[in-house]
Amino acid sequence: MIEIEQLHFRYPRSDFHLQIEHLSVGSDGQAEKVAVVGPSGSGKTTLLNLIAGIVTPESGTIRVGDQNVDTMSDAQRRDFRSAKIGMVFQRFELVEYLNVLDNILLPFAINDSLGLESQNQNAAQLAKKLADSVGLQSKLRRRPNQLSQGEQQRVAICRALVTNPQLILADEPTGNLDPKNKRLILDLIFQQSEARNQTLIVVTHDTGILDGFDRVIDFDQFYVDGTRLQTAGDEVSS
């Protein structure tokens, strides 16, 4: 699913840099659930953003499925991301003027290839089903500012799952949830990824959830399962 080779990335006007000689996740058509851990500023969120094409490397290759993300145009990366990747951002990135249901369905609004009427009808049914599974069934018409942080987090997760993506990237998806909802959300994400053979990469500081993953990549170690990770400086949020 993901193959990264000889990657070098640096933020402008920053000492931060990230080098990855080789990283493979979900290879040979086999989906994998991977947790990424490590200290703040080590490059965990940057790794997700590189895989998703939100930022691009100075050099090296990033392959997701049969697509080279690093060679796509901005528009191609945006369409690829909305169609093939489900993203859960640490800051949620909900649209304030849209209600819960429309926020969940946002990928269908911004990507024409997902906007066929029949797909939208199916998507609306799935969106409501996902919302119901995380306790948001009575709040579909509310806007983000009428929700708690935990509820906003659940909306963001439903949005990431609604397109049945090949790949799910989640940045601290349980960071704003109480223990009960944390377990609920994790079970939902795991069930979704396993049922649809989706690769899952989760950045987390919560060591209590690591036992549910197939593999843990620790950015605090120089070598991880034969993968050389080099980081330096402070991470810049994007």
Type of residue found at 82:
S
Beta strands across the sheet bearing 227-232 = 67-68, 59-64, 2-10, 17-25, 227-232, 223-224
Structure tokens at 126: 């799935």
Q: Is the pLDDT of residue 94 over 90?
A: yes
* Cα 70–Cα 75–Cα 81 angle in degrees, nearest 5: 65
Q: Which fold has domain 2-232?
A: Rossmann fold (3.40.50)
Counting Cα atoms < 13 Å in the Cβ hemisphere of 10 gives 9
Q: Is the pLDDT of residue 234 over 80?
A: no
Return the domain boundaries, the chain: 2-232
Residue-level pLDDT at 225: 47
Q: Is the pLDDT of residue 147 over 50?
A: yes
Helix ranges (DSSP H) in 134-235: 149-161, 179-195
Residue-level pLDDT at 195: 86
Residue-level pLDDT at 223: 41
For range 132-140, the mean pLDDT: 93
Instruction: Report the residue count for the chain.
Output: 238
Strands (DSSP E) contained in 29-164 are: 33-37, 59-64, 67-68, 85-88
Q: CA dihedral in degrees (98, 155, 26, 33; nearest 10)?
A: 170
pLDDT of 20-62, one tens digit each? 888 889 876 688 999 999 888 888 999 999 999 999 999 999 9
